[in-house]
Amino acid sequence: MGVIPLSPLDLALAAALVLALAAVAWAGRLGVARGLLVAAARTAVQLLLVGLVLKVVFAQAGLGWVAALAALMLLLAGREVMARQGRRFRGPWGYALGTLSMFLSAFTVTVFALTVIIGSVPWYEPRYAIPLLGMLLGNTMNGVALGLDRVTAGAMAARAAIEARLALGARAAEAVAPLRREAVRAGLIPIVNAMSAAGIVSLPGMMTGQILAGTPPMEAVRYQVLIMFLIAAGTGFGTLAAVWLASRRLFDGRERLRLERLR
């Protein structure tokens, strides 16, 4: 049995639920109605556009097309990480920290999965590479954003404590060690919660989609377990890299705290 097709009317009915929620939020003066409507509109437009792009990429199936789309996804994810920071580093570092961390983690894990685990031929087969990278980037982006936000906000709040440790002879890495541990823990909370609840509280999206498409449940389960493990690795390594780079950026070459580098 194939997937039951959805008509524009079906999507309009789902959109009506979002409109109803926005109306309730507006009536209650919650201040989220506009943001909710903008996010819903962005979701529809962005997914429709990516559907058209993927149609072209899947038809071409060339490494150049896949690499170009992957690079665009990474750059947009880096922008989202930067935009979510309450305080971020001035200059190009505000953008580079998150982007570089996601490149080192999500891209590495994706290539490993495609070449060693899945073994698709060619290894950059768009049907596997693009969805897999998208899932890893999306989740790694959340972990990196949370970790960076915790580092910068925590450094501002704990400035006196950090400088006191430095005055007592601690190295820069030792002075911010508690802050780094807390930032990494915060970045890993979403994926840890997702893995803990998978199959008990919720059915993850990829597994649900495969089952709806007619894939045998146990095959869908195996793919979902693989994806969850890959996301955990990508998020963990990405958060570790981002937190380490950010904590290093907080100090100068003489290991003095430089919070003026934040905006």
DSSP one-letter string for 158-201 = THHHHHHHHHTT--HHHHTHHHHHHHHHHHHHHHHHHHHHBTTT
Domain count, the chain: 2
Residue ending a domain, among 21, 42, 60, is: 60
Q: Which two tokens stand for residue 35?
A: 């943001």
Q: Are residues 72 and 179 located together in one domain of the fold?
A: yes
Amino acid code (one letter) for 175:
A
Residues 212 and 131 in one domain: yes
Q: Are residues 206 and 248 in the same domain?
A: yes
Quick one: 24 and 112 in the same domain?
no
Three-state secondary-structure class, residue 202: strand
The answer on 126 and 207 residing in a single domain is yes
Pair (69, 55) in one structural domain: no
pTM: 0.83
Does 82 share its domain with 142? yes
Q: Three-state SS for 257?
A: strand
Q: Which of 60, 85, 101 marks a domain boundary?
A: 60
Last residue of a domain, one of 60, 89, 109: 60
pLDDT, tens digit only, all 263 positions of the chain: 556 788 889 999 999 999 999 999 999 888 889 999 999 999 999 888 888 888 888 887 788 888 998 999 999 999 999 988 888 888 899 899 999 999 999 999 999 999 999 988 888 888 889 889 999 999 999 999 999 999 999 999 999 999 999 999 999 999 999 999 999 999 999 999 888 888 777 667 777 777 777 778 888 888 888 888 999 999 999 999 999 999 999 998 888 899 888 88
Q: Look up the domain containing 26 and give its range.
A: 1-60
